[in-house]
């Protein structure tokens, strides 16, 4: 098998470009033989509305979570003597797949070491593994991880005495507002009553003059 032979060569090599020491998902250390490809994606989302002149552009652009895709391979051979020799190890691919799926289902953030940078708080969002005659009993897989961005929250405890004072102050303000509202209504009603009385007096005087 071509991929199996590739796995043997890399396992026996101390200088492989994608050797375990270079690229690694920490919980899968010692499980994956090699990572053959890395795909790094980092984007920024800009708001759709116009940016006001003079304002900071950072207020109108948001950093998206980082996305990392890794392709790896687990051979069906067990390395012995530090990788100097290998023997058939049927079931290694199935065991590695089970470990990868368990890690995905755990939904816990992991640290990933790559050739470009170290990624913290990465969550596995998808896993796929094609099977064909070329892969044999080995496992060829693709893992996609996305950064989890945590937001810090701060809780402040208000002293009970200050809390009581705050409630009392708000209650007094509400009562004062209600009193002012009632006084205003009474003033309006009194003005209307006085106006109507004045108009009635004028009307009576007009009628008496006409008679």
Q: Domain-by-domain residue ranges, the chain?
A: 2-147, 158-211
3-state secondary structure of 108: coil
Distances (CA, A) of 36 to 24, 106, 141, 157, 171: 11, 25, 10, 52, 68
pLDDT of the residue at 105:
97
3-state secondary structure of 82: helix
Q: What's 2-147's CATH class?
A: mainly beta
More confident residue, 17 or 192: 192
Q: How far is CA 145 from the centre of its chain?
A: 13
Q: How far is CA 40 from the centre of its chain?
A: 18
Cβ–Cβ < 8 Å for 145, 112? yes
pLDDT of the residue at 11:
45
Share of the chain above pLDDT 90, in %: 36
pLDDT of the residue at 199:
67
pLDDT above 90 for 144: yes
More confident residue, 105 or 62: 105
Cβ–Cβ < 8 Å for 1, 25? no
More confident residue, 165 or 64: 64
pLDDT of the residue at 100:
96
Residue pLDDT, tens place only, 31-53: 999 999 999 999 999 888 787 78
| Burial zone of 143 (CB within 10 Å; 0-12 exposed, 13-18 middle, 19+ buried) | buried
CA dist., res. 197 & res. 190, Å (int): 11
pLDDT above 70 for 84: no
Cβ–Cβ < 8 Å for 68, 114? yes
Token pair, residue 202, equals: 């004028």
CA dist., res. 68 & res. 39, Å (int): 6
pLDDT of the residue at 20:
45
pLDDT of the residue at 12:
42
Taken in order 205, 206, 207, 208, is the CA torsion positive or negative?
Answer: positive
- Residue 67's pLDDT band (boundaries 50, 70, 90)? very high
Measured CA angle at 197 (ends 195, 200), to 5 deg: 110
Distances (CA, A) of 190 to 162, 199, 204: 42, 14, 21
């Amino acid at each position: 098998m071509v991929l199996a032979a590739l796995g043997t060569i890399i396992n026996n090599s101390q200088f492989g470009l994608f050797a375990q020491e270079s690229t690694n998902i920490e919980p899968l250390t010692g499980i994956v033989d090699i990572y053959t490809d890395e795909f790094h994606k980092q984007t920024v989302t800009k708001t759709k509305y116009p940016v006001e002149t003079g304002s900071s552009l950072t207020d109108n652009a948001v950093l998206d979570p980082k996305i990392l895709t890794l392709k790896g391979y687990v051979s069906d051979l067990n390395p012995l003597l530090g990788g100097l020799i290998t023997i058939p190890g049927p079931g290694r691919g199935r065991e590695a797949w089970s470990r990868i799926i368990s890690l995905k289902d755990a939904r816990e953030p992991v640290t990933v070491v790559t050739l470009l940078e170290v990624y913290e708080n990465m969550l596995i969002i998808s896993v796929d593994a094609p099977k064909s005659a070329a892969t044999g009993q080995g496992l060829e897989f693709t893992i996609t991880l996305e950064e989890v961005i945590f937001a810090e929250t701060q809780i402040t405890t208000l002293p009970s005495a200050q809390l009581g004072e705050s409630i009392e102050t708000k209650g007094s303000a509400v009562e004062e507002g209600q009193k002012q509202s009632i006084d205003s209504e009474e003033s309006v009603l009194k003005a209307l009553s006085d106006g109507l009385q004045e108009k009635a007096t004028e009307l009576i005087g007009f009628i008496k003059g006409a008679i």
